[in-house]
Amino acid sequence: MKIVSAFALAATLTVALFSGSAMADGDADKGEKVFKKCKSCHTVDSGGKHKSGPNLFGVYGREVAGTDFSKYKALSADDGVWDEDNLDKWLENPKKYNGKKTSMSLKLKKEDDREDVIAYLKTLK
Ligand code: HEC
């Protein structure tokens, strides 16, 4: 029994270590594939037009609602910056981000997908 629980503890620690460092370890190439789901509403090129959602060029590190997009609903009064934590929270469930209504209906439920998409968003500069 002792051996089994030591093994379980080691496994738990490994998972904890990995998830602790995971935020920085997204795969941008995979993220670009995940981003196909986002393209109906977002362009990513510099100076790209806004669609149903704002252009996302340079979004990482930018002020929340920092473009001239005129249809921000949930985000218009927010004064945060798009860092990993905020993006993770937004992408997991935009409607719960600050409790305000938004027309961004897509949720990325898988943590891996969010990490990969965030890694991809970081390349848009
Ligand atoms: C149905 C359309 C739609 C889809 C699909 C969509 N978004 Fe959005 N997105 C929006 C809208 C609308 C906003 C503005 C939110 C608001 O203020 O209500 C937004 C805002 C954002 C913002 C904040 C931009 C800023 O300027 O502050 C990010 C980042 C973002 N979306 C990323 C994504 C990613 C990544 C995906 C794919 C996983 C995605 N979106 C899918 C419509 C969409």
Angle, vertex CA 33, rays to CA 50 and CA 118, nearest 5: 70
pLDDT of 80? 96
Pick the more confident residue, 10 or 74.
Answer: 74
| 104 vs 13, higher pLDDT | 104
Average pLDDT over residues 43-57: 98
Instruction: Indicate if the pLDDT at residue 22 is higher than 60.
Output: no
54 C-alpha to center of ligand 1: Å? 7
| Atom in ligand 1 nearest the alpha carbon of residue 121 | 35
Q: Is 53 in the pocket of ligand 1 (CB under 6 A)?
A: yes
Question: Does the Cβ of 117 fall within 6 Å of ligand 1?
Answer: yes
Percent of the chain at pLDDT exceeding 90: 80
Cβ burial 79-113 (10 Å sphere, 16+ → b, else e): eeebebeebbebbbebeebeeeebebeeebeeeeb
The Cα–Cα gap between 35 and 68 comes to 22
26 lines ligand 1 (CB under 6 A): no
